[in-house]
Amino acid sequence: MSKSALQIERAKYQPKMPESLKGIVRIVEGKKTESVADREEIEKLFPNTYGLNEITFEQGTEQIEYSEINVGVILSGGQAPGGHNVISGLFDGIKKLNGKSRLYGFLMGPAGLVEHKYIELTKEIVDEYRNTGGFDIIGSGRTKLEYAWQFEKGKEILDALNIKALVIIGGDDSNTNACILAEYYAENHYGINVIGCPKTIDGDLKNEKIETSFGFDTACKVYSEVIGNIQRDCNSARKYWHFIKLMGRSASHIALECALQVHPNMCLVSEEIEEKNQTLDNIVSDIAAVVALRGNKGNNFGTVLIPEGLIEFIPAFRDLIRELNEFLSENEAEFKMIKKSEQISYITKKLSEENSILYASLPETVARQLTLDRDPHGNVQVSLIETEKLLAEMVAVKLSEWKKAGKYRGEFAAQTHFFGYEGRCAAPSNYDADYCYSLGYTASNLIAANKTGYMASVTKTTLPADQWIAGGVPITMMMNLERRHGEYKPVIKKALVDLEGKPFNTFLKSRDLWSEETDYVYPGPIQYFGPSAVCDQPTKTLQLEQS
């Protein structure tokens, strides 16, 4: 494999990890857990994996002899920086337990398990990928593990390879599946444990026990670097407004973190928009007001950050999307038969009156984007909806009305961007390299402790890494019931931006100033070598949450 000079140096980086994992490890059982909501129903669905104890690992004194163990690993869902380090931490961890242990990687996500596609991850392979971005060591995919036949197909190959534990590295939906699989194998006494690992750049897989999902740190730093560059460009040319949509699916964590890093002129936060019951017209007017305020002072430039999932949080759109989801899941076959040119009018006739009026009022591109295939978990693929273009166009119309009315004297020209894929496979920051390696190592200790239905957890990560706390959290603890594909299903509760929380409130205190003034910050690229104050800082979100 050809490598850049940075890759060669970076390969030598030894990730930092909690002191408790370095030598002999002792397991400490904590208190029993309960699910975040819908307790009775979740307990009924997960009789074997509900109510388990929290776990922490501490330094021990008693050396235990572990037998060799074969472990499988799956990368599931969207890529996130650091996945390769979870695998290298897991590999090193199981080799420390017993040098004869083996690690198998299933290819292209959960599908690899069902289709029996795998490779053995040897030292040579793992060494090639240490501290690198991407998931290409084994690939990833979004196949949903939900049917007993899939679990049975999986068991066939796990038995054939004598695999006793499977680690699923994924977001909320993939970890939900990990838990369902853990429950199924436990119920049937198959002797195969399943452990989850919190991944997603979206930052929405977090709770009291999982303080962040890996990849969020690096992805936000990459986007902030590029937004900073754009801000410097727009402050130099002084002629464009940049409408920048940022990945993150439902939650606005990425947009908010980037705002805290770069001080844009405006950042929409979907959760606030929902709480204030805002309409699309309110949002457009708010943006236009900031453009006008700056334009009237001769500043015809600026930046607007837009969270990817915005549209689903505008109450009227949320109702429309809900009705579309139900309709499309019940009438998928019929809808696919309709000619493309007739799809919009077909849908318009099928919707309730209110939703039909809204749907018919949308630009054709957006109307089409709203009916595209849902992902395998039933989510609208918000990354395909061009909200940044929709908003830029609507703001232009609003400003020309205001100009005619004499309320606006500036010039408006917009550029639109969507940052998502650019950051998902970046080489992990030191934070993600360390955090991921520690998560993988923690997973190996959960395997050693014969645990199933747990997610690896590493907390207190704003402290120096040797003080981080490693442990395990029962996945059922994070679950509630939600409507998916027209039915109530157990799923891990997504963490949205907390409007009472410190990150949002810090943003709130500064945003008027950032709108009016040009107070941009240019964070520059991620640094891997140099002072710790530059190289090892976690996200502003985490620093504020833990301050």
Two structure tokens written together for 424 = 């998902």
Q: Is 466 left (phi over 0), alpha (psi -120 to 50) or beta?
A: alpha
Which of 74, 382, 391, 497 binds ligand FBP (CB under 6 A)? It is: 382
Q: Cα torsion for 522, 526, 532, 533, to the nearest 10°?
A: 10
**Cβ at position 77, least distance to ligand FBP in Å:** 3
**Cβ at position 274, least distance to ligand FBP in Å:** 18
The residue among 89 and 171 lying less far from ligand FBP, judged by its C-beta, is 171
At residue 505, what is the residue type?
N
Two structure tokens written together for 335 = 């809808």
Q: Alpha-carbon distance 377 to 141, whole Å?
A: 12
The count of chain residues that interact with ligand FBP, using the rule CB under 6 A, is 14
The residue among 251 and 427 lying less far from ligand FBP, judged by its C-beta, is 251
Rounded to 5 degrees, φ, ψ at 545 are -60, -30
Q: Based on the shown chain and the rule CB under 6 A, indicate whether residue 202 belongs to the binding site for ligand FBP.
A: yes
Which of 383, 387, 461, 506 binds ligand FBP (CB under 6 A)? It is: 383
List the one residue out of 435, 437, 427 whose CA is nearest residue 92.
437
463-478 burial, b if ≥16 CB within 10 A, otherwise e? eebeebbbbbbbbbbb
The interface mask with ligand FBP, positions 1-40, x = CB under 6 A, is: ----------------------------------------
DSSP state of 66: P
Which of 84, 144, 155, 249 binds ligand FBP (CB under 6 A)? It is: 249
Which of 54, 183, 211, 308 binds ligand FBP (CB under 6 A)? It is: 308
Q: Cα torsion for 393, 397, 403, 407, to the nearest 10°?
A: -90
Q: Alpha-carbon distance 69 to 378, whole Å?
A: 36
Q: According to CB under 6 A, which residues from 149 to 178 bind ligand FBP? A: 171
Neighbours of 482 (CB within 10 A): 17
Please, how many CA atoms are within 13 Å of residue 101, restricted to the half-sphere of its CB? 25
Through-space distance between the first and last CA atoms of the chain, rounded to whole angstroms: 43
Which of 20, 101, 143, 200 binds ligand FBP (CB under 6 A)? It is: 200
Q: According to CB under 6 A, which residues from 415 to 454 bind ligand FBP? A: 424
Which of 247, 267, 268, 370 binds ligand FBP (CB under 6 A)? It is: 247
**Cβ at position 21, least distance to ligand FBP in Å:** 25
CB 19 within 8 A of CB 49: no
**Cβ at position 258, least distance to ligand FBP in Å:** 13
Q: Identify which range of 123-131, 199-207, 283-291, 449-457 contacts ligand FBP by CB under 6 A.
A: 199-207
The residues with which 104 forms a beta bridge, in sequence order, are 72, 120
The residue among 374 and 403 lying less far from ligand FBP, judged by its C-beta, is 374
The residue among 88 and 174 lying less far from ligand FBP, judged by its C-beta, is 174
Q: Catalytic: which of 92, 172, 173, 202?
A: 202
Range list of H helices, 429-530:
430-448, 502-516
Q: Is 447 left (phi over 0), alpha (psi -120 to 50) or beta?
A: alpha
Which of 248, 307, 474, 523 binds ligand FBP (CB under 6 A)? It is: 248
The residue among 393 and 422 lying less far from ligand FBP, judged by its C-beta, is 422
**Cβ at position 81, least distance to ligand FBP in Å:** 11
**Cβ at position 383, least distance to ligand FBP in Å:** 4
**Cβ at position 202, least distance to ligand FBP in Å:** 5
Q: Identify which range of 57-65, 198-206, 317-325, 393-401 contacts ligand FBP by CB under 6 A.
A: 198-206
Q: Residue 158 contacts by C-beta under 8 Å, 6 or more apart in sequence?
A: 72, 113, 166, 192
**Cβ at position 271, least distance to ligand FBP in Å:** 16
The residue among 202 and 434 lying less far from ligand FBP, judged by its C-beta, is 202
The residue among 309 and 474 lying less far from ligand FBP, judged by its C-beta, is 309
97-134 burial, b if ≥16 CB within 10 A, otherwise e? beeebbbbbbbbbbbbbbbeebeebeeebbeebbbbbb
Q: Is 249 left (phi over 0), alpha (psi -120 to 50) or beta?
A: left
The residue among 366 and 535 lying less far from ligand FBP, judged by its C-beta, is 366
The interface mask with ligand FBP, positions 458-477, x = CB under 6 A, is: --------------------
Two structure tokens written together for 406 = 């004499």
**Cβ at position 252, least distance to ligand FBP in Å:** 11
**Cβ at position 497, least distance to ligand FBP in Å:** 15
Q: Identify which range of 10-18, 242-250, 335-343, 410-418 contacts ligand FBP by CB under 6 A.
A: 242-250
Angle at 267 between CA 293 and CA 214, to 5 degrees: 165
CB 197 within 8 A of CB 440: yes
Q: Alpha-carbon distance 459 to 391, whole Å?
A: 39
Q: Identify which range of 115-123, 244-252, 391-399, 437-445 contacts ligand FBP by CB under 6 A.
A: 244-252
The interface mask with ligand FBP, positions 62-101, x = CB under 6 A, is: ---------------xx-x---------------------
Q: Is 373 considered catalytic here?
A: no
Q: Are strands 25-32 and 53-59 parallel, antiparallel or unpaired?
A: antiparallel
State the catalytic residues: 202
Give the residues lining the site for ligand FBP (CB under 6 A): 77-78, 80, 171, 200-202, 247-249, 308, 382-383, 424
